[in-house]
A and B are shown apart, each in its own frame.
Chain A
Amino acid sequence: MISNKETIVALAAQQKRLDQRGLLEYRKPIVIETDISWTAEGSARVQIGSTVVLAGVKLSIEKPYNDTPDEGGITVNVELLPLSSPKYESGPPGMAAIELARVVDRGIREAKAIDVKKLCITPGEKAWFVIIDVVTVNDAGNLFDAAGLAALAALNSARFPMVNKETGVIDYKHKTTTPLPLVKQPLPLTVYKINGQLMVDLSTNEEIAYDARLTVASDKDGTISALQKGGSEPLTVEEIDAMMTIALEKARFLREELQKQLK
């Protein structure tokens, strides 16, 4: 569909949306599958409506950074594949891909979700590094939530690979049963503002019309670990307050879906 910005803005004033959803209603179905790739240590496929993203977690042993000799690390990469939308081209990541990667990364990093000290094998020499790769399969809107959810699901499903004790070489073909030292479950959630109304889970049609957005990464108990504001319009303190409330409530909803589907 080719959307008409005026229509979306006018509908928002009446608290309505193009596809007859409620302002705070997610598209259906929400499908979360894990362990979809045998080459990755942890992986997940998340579908929200017709948006589909894949996330993979790879683990490798590297030398720790000089300023943190007793810590491992995490890296998040997002690739917006040209197959997922006519908007995307192949080549080096653009603004959108970098922002998406950094928002997912910040949610996990700032929550201190992974106990990086436990990733260290020999201080100053060897530590585990967690590499999270997110790729989009279909962009039908709201990649932020889908990518965040996929990254979290993939982290939960990750298991360390076997390491040869004598040579120190990783045997990626065999996994141990040890999960990652995940101490928190951060989940980013994005609330959008269109014509003064706050809504979640925009479709690609609606994405052209938002004035501002706020991504709130929160833990199970509601602890907020990261925020990211986007869009050209400013937000008032009251609006930010309302957006946080919505984000926490909707994060609880997504977390329930995650729990339900991972059993």
Chain B
Amino acid sequence: MGTLKAQERNIVIPGEILAEGMDYLPGENTYREQENIYSKVLGLVTLVGRVIKITPLSGPYVLKIGDKIIAQVTDITMNGWRVSTNTAYTAMLNVKDATTRFVKKEEDLSKILAIGDYVVVRIVNVTSQNLIDVIMKEPGLHKISGGRIISLNSQKVPRLIGKQGSMISLIKERTGCEITVGQNGLVWLKGTPEGEYLAEQAVHLVEEKAHLEGLTVRMEKFLSTGVKA
């Protein structure tokens, strides 16, 4: 008979035994060695039927096709820009994917995007060698101006957005800020200085308390009283 060694929502460390015996199956971020299932990462245990999964508490962001990220322009090339993605890899943004208007051959590309500018882009291609292509030509993708950019542990991004965007719309509504969340953990806030400050604190609250239950209740309380519970 298999026995479960870790309970739902327990925090486990790499190498910790999660279950003994063949009755349970290893899911995300776990592995089986002989009879036992071990954790690969530091995270929270989730049980789905017989499958044991772990939601990591921290870790790097892995670039995925289709993700919207916030990136910074680091270089201007012959035909586009190189952008830093807040990961170990940089991405390329081609001129034809950056703007809908016609760009003349001799035009100065720094007039469109200068080094140091932040952009909201979507990843369209990731090769096996981690060469990344991004585009900026869809609705919602643009160059960032004003506001402030804060960074968040990228593993907490799903919690910041919430189910069907419930958490992020709550923060947007209460702070009156425009908020763009990049999957790479960069968040852009724009609103009144007071609103931006409150939203920044709210994002940090998610980062600190995301692993605990009742995050929405905490957030409601924080946004109405300004005190972190």
Contacts and interface: CB of A to CB of B under 8 A. Distances in A.
Determine which residue in B144, B186, B197 has the highest number of CB atoms from chain A within 10 A of its CB, and name it: B197
Given A1-B200, A2-B186, A18 B194 contact: no
A6 B151 CA distance: 18
17 contacts: A1-B149, A1-B151, A1-B200, A2-B118, A2-B186, A4-B146, A4-B148, A6-B145, A6-B146, A7-B146, A7-B148, A14-B193, A16-B193, A18-B148, A18-B193, A20-B193, A20-B197
Contacts of A7: 146-148
B150 interface: yes
A1 B149 CA distance: 7
Interface string B200-223: 100000000000000000000000
A10 interface: yes
Interface in B161-192: 186
Nearest to B144: A4
Contacts of A245: none
A242 interface: no
Contacts of A11: 193
A20 B194 CA distance: 7
**A interface: dominant SS:** loop
Interface residues of B, number: 15
6 nearest A-B residue pairs (beta carbon): A2-B149, A1-B150, A16-B193, A20-B197, A4-B148, A7-B148
Nearest to A17: B193
Contacts of A14: 193
Nearest to A3: B148
Contacts of B72: 2
Contacts of A10: 146
A67 interface: no
A20 B195 CA distance: 11
A132 B144 CA distance: 45
Contacts of B118: 2, 4
A96 to B, nearest CB: 20
Contacts of A1: 148-151, 200
Interface in A96-110: none
Interface in B42-60: none
Given A18-B197, A19-B197, A20-B194, A3 B146 contact: no
Contacts of A6: 145-146
Query: Which of A3, A7, A16, A19 has the largest number of chain B CB atoms within 10 A?
Result: A7
